[in-house]
Chain A
């Protein structure tokens, strides 16, 4: 029973009308989520800038407020005060609604991420499938933005977006199915409760595939081809400014928060942890995942578009399929009490598979005869 269900019960005992009993908790929950998400996004922006500064032997923003914590707010005010420019030849309507279509599904993702015991908006019994379905809507918004801008750089970015996000959907889905097989449920709450041992230990290979797939889905380095600033300048949001750009900017961090939350839920044991309160554990784990993402951004160069595709189809996808079969066999054969055997077995298998596949697989490719 989630906290919102309890809230509903309380309202019912107070003899509120039926529609109010149904609507009030939902609206309150949505408001809480929006406030929570926006607050954490502000923290994320600050954290990324500071940490990136440290990785690059510089200080990072440190003027606004203590340690520069108010810098994201200053940035937000600056962006909001900018003139909203729409290109003359742009498709005005689509140009206007594209940022909304990118941002709203990201907020919708948080409906099924459990922040603490029972602290979830809706405990869908198909929570994982909901996540997969909703997270792929953003790509339509990105393509709409790219197409409607009527800019050649953003057109290239849009074409890359479709190819990249559709390709990486497959390994991501297959690696989550492995998790669902072990947990025996698609519900996010049940998956967290099933993790006596965090699934990162139980299924290291699935974690690696899911993490890399997520990086590609949220356009983070080394898969940030959509906004590759050295090639196509800013990609799909090149013609956006003001509030519309802020939507993309928030969306970029919102999706990072959402995926960090999903990784925490599926692989790191969600809110579970000793001593500290569950919400704090959740935030700590999310920050750790996000720091890892920043670390990769600060270190790695970008892949080329054909290498990106071959990495998805020739490396991640076969590994995800093999992983799914191995996990299914282990769940069938091994009794549930022998989970530690499964940990050791899976680490061995993951190492062997990655070594073997990296021998067979090259990122290469390259020149096309024209």
Chain B
């Protein structure tokens, strides 16, 4: 007689230590094996897209901070680029360099949080996170130095940045860039050859190349699946064509590759930072002349960049008034987690947590 079993439904989230916010998954289990997963989102919905229609273009910049709050600077940049495209504004040279420097520092910081909390999901008891926070503290000091904020920066402006770099900034960031490779080696010593990390993450949660392309994944998740796609290289925005850097790719598309790609991207970001600091113009304006109540001409524009978590885009429609007629946000992590079901079925509860962690989501961006 065949044994008949029924699925066991487990509700993970919205209140759960490793859902990276308020993500909720309704998981059906067969023992510990996952049969299906149904993501339920919307617990952090604030209606940013609708709110943006009632505020001026500049007033919308702080809202973009609150999307992916671990990489606010790149969100600012993508939004400002969309509006600059709309209004045809030319950004000064020095401002472009400052923007690149902050995007890359932001990428380092965001990837460190991603890797640290991925290890936390693996059960490493906060240790890797705290080691990564040691460097993230320095990054936050850098941000605080220039805009007075440590999490939600609101630093970029339409046409440039809000204020020039203080005198002590460049030596501080040079010191940080010089120290960083040593710390990355230290992380590799702790993590990259750890037997348990390898056993837990190699071959787990494979996202095949075809699926990754089909769902429109981007960022480290896409590159870990072996697709060499990075907007900084493929469609250089700002002044990325002036820098020399590699695009690391994985080949298996498993959790380990996603971890590995992030660590390599931190190294590449350090390379870009070195070059940008060497070429940074000494003097010059940091913001183009943009009126306070900026009225772009009628039309529409789409600004998109390679944010730490993938391709973030802002689509803005102007009706010639001081506020956008419509602002749509294209969130990379929302697109990336659509592959969750394909990746986790057949794995265990513990794997679900690390696969979800390896995608690196921030709920502020998914729910908007």
A-side residues, CB < 8 A to B, are 52, 55-58, 152-153, 156, 159, 221-222, 224-225, 228-233, 297-307, 362-364, 366-370
Tell me the nearest residue of chain A to B191, going by C-beta. A301
Q: Are A301 and B200 in contact (CB under 8 A)?
A: yes
A207 CB to closest chain B CB (Å) equals 20
* C-alpha spacing A222/B200, complex, angstroms: 12
Tell me the nearest residue of chain B to A155, going by C-beta. B8
Query: Assuming A233-B16, A301-B200, A304-B200, is B123 touching A228 (CB within 8 A)?
Result: yes
Tell me the nearest residue of chain A to B121, going by C-beta. A230
Q: Which of A231, A298, A364, A368 contacts B350 (CB 8 A)?
A: A231
Q: Which of B27-35, B102-110, B320-328 contacts A (4 or more CB under 8 A)?
A: B27-35
* Residue count of chain B within 8 Å CB distance of chain A: 41
Interface-central residue, B123, B130, B351, by most chain A CB under 10 Å: B123
Q: Are A364 and B199 in contact (CB under 8 A)?
A: yes
Known A152-B10, A230-B353, A302-B124; further 10 A-B contacts with Cβ < 8 A: A152-B8, A152-B9, A231-B18, A233-B17, A299-B127, A301-B200, A304-B199, A305-B32, A306-B348, A366-B204
Q: Are B126 and A56 in contact (CB under 8 A)?
A: yes
Contact of B88 with A by CB under 8 A: no
Interface-central residue, A233, A362, A369, A370, by most chain B CB under 10 Å: A370
Q: Which 4 A-B pairs have the closest CB atoms?
A: A302-B123, A363-B199, A301-B122, A230-B18
B128 CB to closest chain A CB (Å) equals 9
Contact of B292 with A by CB under 8 A: no
A70 CB to closest chain B CB (Å) equals 24
Q: Which residues of chain A are within 8 angstroms of B33 by Cβ–Cβ distance?
A: 368, 370
Query: Which residues of chain B from 279 to 303 have a CB within 8 Å of any chain A CB?
Result: none
Q: Are B203 and A55 in contact (CB under 8 A)?
A: no
Q: Are A231 and B353 in contact (CB under 8 A)?
A: yes
Tell me the nearest residue of chain B to A358, going by C-beta. B195
Q: Are B17 and A229 in contact (CB under 8 A)?
A: yes
Q: Are B123 and A221 in contact (CB under 8 A)?
A: yes
Query: Which residues of chain B from 322 to 366 have a CB within 8 Å of any chain A CB?
Result: 345-351, 353
Q: Which residues of chain A are within 8 angstroms of B350 by Cβ–Cβ distance?
A: 225, 228, 231, 302, 304-305
Q: Which residues of chain B are within 8 angstroms of A303 by Cβ–Cβ distance?
A: 196, 199-200
Q: Which residues of chain A are within 8 angstroms of B351 by Cβ–Cβ distance?
A: 304, 366
Q: Which residues of chain B are within 8 angstroms of A56 by Cβ–Cβ distance?
A: 126-127, 130-131
B-side residues, CB < 8 A to A, are 8-11, 16-18, 30, 32-35, 119-127, 130-131, 134, 190, 194-197, 199-200, 203-204, 345-351, 353
* C-alpha spacing A193/B4, complex, angstroms: 57
Q: Are B347 and A367 in contact (CB under 8 A)?
A: yes
Query: Assuming A156-B349, A366-B347, is B200 touching A297 (CB within 8 A)?
Result: no
Q: Which residues of chain B are within 8 angstroms of A370 by Cβ–Cβ distance?
A: 30, 33-35, 345-346
Q: Are B124 and A301 in contact (CB under 8 A)?
A: yes
B179 CB to closest chain A CB (Å) equals 15
Sampled A-B contacts (22; CB under 8 Å): A52-B125, A55-B127, A56-B126, A57-B131, A224-B123, A230-B353, A231-B18, A231-B123, A231-B353, A233-B16, A299-B127, A300-B124, A301-B124, A301-B200, A302-B123, A305-B350, A363-B196, A364-B199, A366-B203, A366-B204, A368-B346, A370-B34
Tell me the nearest residue of chain A to B16, going by C-beta. A233
Q: Are A364 and B203 in contact (CB under 8 A)?
A: yes
* C-alpha spacing A299/B127, complex, angstroms: 7
Q: Which residues of chain A are within 8 angstroms of B199 by Cβ–Cβ distance?
A: 303-304, 307, 362-364
A44 CB to closest chain B CB (Å) equals 17
Q: Which residues of chain B are within 8 angstroms of A364 by Cβ–Cβ distance?
A: 199, 203
Q: Which residues of chain B are within 8 angstroms of A55 by Cβ–Cβ distance?
A: 127
* C-alpha spacing A267/B34, complex, angstroms: 42
B136 CB to closest chain A CB (Å) equals 13
B115 CB to closest chain A CB (Å) equals 12
Q: Which residues of chain B are within 8 angstroms of A229 by Cβ–Cβ distance?
A: 17, 123
B249 CB to closest chain A CB (Å) equals 23
Tell me the nearest residue of chain B to A58, going by C-beta. B130
* C-alpha spacing A159/B130, complex, angstroms: 32
Q: Are A301 and B196 in contact (CB under 8 A)?
A: yes
Q: Are A301 and B197 in contact (CB under 8 A)?
A: yes
* C-alpha spacing A366/B353, complex, angstroms: 15
Q: Which of A52, A57, A368 contacts B134 (CB 8 A)?
A: A57
* C-alpha spacing A368/B131, complex, angstroms: 35
Q: Which of B125, B130, B194 contacts A57 (CB 8 A)?
A: B130
* C-alpha spacing A297/B11, complex, angstroms: 28
